[in-house]
Amino acid sequence: MIRFWETEFPMLHPKKSKGNQRIYIKKEIELILEIKRLLYQEKLTIAGARKRLRQPIRKTEAQTSNATLCSIKKELEALLHLLN
């Protein structure tokens, strides 16, 4: 499966040893795990996953989303406490 992904995701290109074994660095392993997550958890197609990986990651959006989720969680916990 990973060898197939190498043909579909050009950014995934491991080096090979003298014995022709693939040697993956940490960055490539993280990319493989992200591809797996996009395909199996988010149910994206290969093309959709490729497109998502090409999009720049906006840290400020991720931080804002995380802060919003934390805020919602605190509000829900407060409501739960009131209901008990």
CATH number for domain 2-83, candidates 2.40.30, 1.10.1660, 1.10.287, 1.10.357: 1.10.1660
| Amino acid in the structure at residue 28 | E
**Predicted local distance difference test score (pLDDT) of residue 62:** 62
Q: Can you give the pLDDT of all 84 residues of the chain as single tens digits? A: 999 999 999 999 999 999 999 999 999 999 999 999 999 999 999 999 999 998 876 655 666 677 788 889 999 999 988 888
pLDDT at 60: 54
Q: What is the DSSP string of 10-47?
A: TT---EE-TTS-EE--HHHHHHHHHHHIIIIIS---HH
Supply the pLDDT for residue 58. Answer: 61
